[in-house]
Amino acid sequence: MTTAPQTAAIDVSSLSFEKAVEELEAIVSALERGDVALDRSIEIYERGEALKKHCEALLSAAENRIEKIRLDRAGKPQGVEPLDGE
């Protein structure tokens, strides 16, 4: 039986996007193998849900920060606006 990923007591909110995705991938891999005890599966699944929410929040924040350059009629930069035009 293969061991499941070690879910450290590290608070999910302190993880970078890359570290959170890395841990989430390890959890998914362990659950897909199906060789994790039921109690441990539930524990790492719950951690995976928290990681997924954290990654979604980080992505949303990044999307909100992306801006496009607004040009005037002469094609010169005039300012910035949200990428999606909101």
Domain chopping of the chain, boundaries: 17-73
Q: Is the dihedral of CA 12, 15, 20, 22 positive or negative?
A: negative
Question: Cβ(17)–Cβ(59) under 8 Å?
Answer: yes
CATH number of 17-73: 1.10.287
pLDDT tens for each residue of 21-80: 999 999 999 999 999 999 999 999 999 999 999 999 999 988 777 777 777 788 787 777
**Model's pTM, two decimal places?**
0.70
